[in-house]
Chain A
Amino acid sequence: MSLDLDNLVISREGRPMVALSCHVAPGEVLSIMGPSGCGKSTLLAALVGALPPAFSMQGRVVLNGRDITAVPTHARRLGILFQDDILFPHLSVGANLGFGLPRSGPDRGQAISTALEEAGLGGLQARDPASLSGGQRARVALMRTLLSDPLGLLLDEPFSKLDSALRAQMREFVFARARARHLPVVLVTHDLEDARAAGGPVLDVLGNHLSLPVSSPADLSARTS
């Protein structure tokens, strides 16, 4: 599995904001960094097929060899995680996971409880998502996305609202699962630590390679712990 951005240019009122051409290998995390308002989130909206009407896009998006540029969001098979968990408030935890699980699967109940076990949330199917902690909700959101069997994963600053201890844990959890499933990942962030932990190439929205400053002892210890 891999994700290719082929001469992708996103413009607003004729002015290009984002210009990228790159290849994301299976299990690799491409980090896109930049200040807020530079078009990072717009890039993800374009990749997932939900570009606001004010923007226009040229170039191609190719997922696993299939050109998905004109494919509607629901048929792209690209999972996305936002800053907020966006769990559906009217559904239980189990029903949220069931929403992501394709219909044709053999034992849906089993798949859901396995996913919850994997996230360390075994037996919480019937819970109201609003009754979970922020970290638990973030994990449910990830498992919901993974259950939908995506071929790639998009992360829109998904760790920025978690507190720092939880953030390191959650990064590890997300990246490990993406690697295990060989998913190409595009991570959008303004947090150096996210990009460092991702371990892949780091670009800005115009495709320039960024080199990360040397880690401070504090984050070294955070990573080794």
Chain B
Amino acid sequence: MARIGLWAALAVLALPVLAGLAGVIGPAFGYFPALGSTQISPEPMRALFAWPGLGTAMRLSVTTGFLATALSLALTVLIVAAWQGTQSFLWVTRVLAPFLALPHAAAAFGLAFLIAPSGWIARALSPWATGWDRPPDLLLVNDPFGFALVAGLVLKEVPFLLLMTLAALPQADSLRSQLVARALGYGRVTGWLKAVAPRVYAQIRLPVYAVLAYSMSVVDVAHILGPTRPPTLAVQILEWSTHPDLAMRFQAAAGALLQLGLVLVALAVWRGAEWGIGWLGTRWAAGGARGQKLDIVLRPLGAAGAVLIGLAVGLGLAGLLVWSFAGLWRFPSVWPEVWTLRNWAGQSADLGRILRDTAVIAFGSTAIALALAIAALHASPGAGGARLGLIYLPLIVPQIAFLPGLASFALVLGLDGTRMAVMLAHLIFVLPYVYLVLADPWRAWDARAGVAAAALGAGPVRVLWSVRLPMLTRALAVAFAVGFATSVAQYLPSLLIGAGRVSTVTTEAVALASSGNRRLIGVWAAVQMALPMAMFALCLAVPALLFRYRQGMRIA
């Protein structure tokens, strides 16, 4: 009976991914009964490989994915290795939450508004330093190499990897190991890399794989910041999937399968690189080089990276807000000449409706995910080692590889285009994050409280509801906020399962990307970032208010 929760959670994680993949494999080889095609044929694959942009699209997917992952991981490790145990590091960990709550698309828009030829940076430097009195003709956003895309991904992946690393540090006995290394004469960074990094990496390996898979196949960020003509493979697949000509669905499925293969090969290559780096690293560690001088360069570098990310996100978001209230704003001016509410007023009808739909979907999927996560954790008292891998399944199999298949099933079942279907599709991605956030505090809970309650005559149900869950209120609230933010940020599931009939603030904002209308983008991206932030604030405030007279419920 108790294990039902566990099986339900596993089903939510695994079944849609497997069904979605099955729904892609069929059409990739010409089998798509819903479109009247029951003949197995190599035609979709042939059409895919005949597309002239394929080589470039594949190369972009690989280079941007690897570059974004390697940069994010290097920066995360550098920040932790160089600054762990200092006051500044403590401060970084405290401001992490809003960065995590921020949807990828909003961060990407913010960055685009900052670095574009007519963006804030160019304005701040013009004309006095650059001599520009009109925006220069430079391809800074949507550059053909995908550097802007990589930058946009790094902004969001560093905070994620940082959070995962923070969770791994205590088990790796990080502070004391680094102290021992430093007492042996090692520099901070070198000591950490040699003594702590291997243990920490073993624990953040799956999150790193998720980052690699995500970076290679992301659609919304690539659509906003990435190259065009050809775009990355994932963006092109989406274009085919949503093409009015339904025959393109076959080609899209073939592309999705190729994308999956690409990610799997990349993961294998990454795994191989781990071996190589591990082997070299062991020799390096045994070699005894202290690397004290390295700190002089690496500590400021880590700090600069953290500050740069903070500035890029902070100024980016400020830029979105300013654009949403901008009337006339000529090029070199740093501020708009005219401020106006017109941009907001013009959207007010849609804003209310779409905001409500987005909140309902996020609320529903997060509530279900929280219930499932609690049920699953309750059913597996030990640390479920093998099961933990499955948690990452929806995060490692690219969305673009299985969601088109899932959308076909939804279409056949007549479920597509409903808010309920979108909510359930979000659940697939919300559940892993809710579970990951909740699992550590859940297991860290003092089990003696449960024994004490039971010895006082409380049965298992009462122990759960009257003792364990109330004691974990704060963790539950944070898990809820993370789940809510994850749902709000979802682009592909909303678009594909919603079949264009369900809009969320994210689909609206991303749809405006190619319009170039900065004022409208500003409005929608501002709403997109405000919604999860508001939920975060609420989820931090409610337990604090509820337990304002209970010191024992404060964060230790």
Contacts and interface: CB of A to CB of B under 8 A. Distances in A.
A82 interface: yes
B449 interface: yes
Interface stretch (A11-19, A26-34, A126-134, A164-172): A126-134
Contacts of A50: 450-451, 454
B383 interface: no
Contacts of A131: 551
Contact of A144 (B381, B382, B456, B553): B456
Contacts of B143: none
Given A50-B454, A74-B458, A74-B459, A130 B449 contact: no
A96 to B, nearest CB: 10
A100 B458 CA distance: 8
A9 interface: no
B457 interface: yes
30 contacts: A45-B451, A48-B451, A50-B451, A53-B382, A73-B451, A73-B455, A74-B459, A74-B463, A75-B457, A79-B456, A80-B451, A82-B448, A86-B449, A87-B552, A88-B470, A88-B471, A89-B471, A89-B552, A90-B470, A90-B471, A90-B473, A99-B453, A99-B456, A100-B457, A102-B457, A129-B552, A130-B551, A130-B552, A131-B551, A145-B455
B37 interface: no
Contacts of A129: 552
Given A50-B454, A73-B454, A148-B457, A90 B553 contact: yes
A74 B457 contact: yes
A149 to B, nearest CB: 8
Contact of A89 (B382, B454, B458, B550): B550
Nearest to A87: B552
B448 A72 contact: no
A193 interface: no
Nearest to B467: A88
Interface in B114-170: none
B535 to A, nearest CB: 23
Given A79-B456, A128-B551, A154-B455, 6 more contacts: A74-B455, A77-B457, A80-B451, A80-B452, A80-B455, A86-B448
A78 interface: yes
A40 interface: no
A34 to B, nearest CB: 20
A84 interface: yes
A78 B550 CA distance: 29
Contacts of B462: 74
Contacts of B381: 53
A76 interface: yes
A83 to B, nearest CB: 9
Contacts of A86: 446, 448-449, 452
A130 B549 CA distance: 9
Nearest to B451: A50
A148 B467 CA distance: 16
A51 to B, nearest CB: 11
B466 interface: yes
A76 B455 contact: yes
B49 interface: no
A2 to B, nearest CB: 19
A179 to B, nearest CB: 20
A50 B457 CA distance: 13
A100 to B, nearest CB: 4
B455 A79 contact: yes
B547 interface: yes
Given A88-B467, A90-B550, A145 B448 contact: no
B460 interface: yes
Given A74-B460, A82-B448, A90 B547 contact: yes
A97 to B, nearest CB: 10
Nearest to A141: B452
A166 to B, nearest CB: 20
Interface in B514-551: 547, 549-551
Interface string A137-152: 0000000110010100
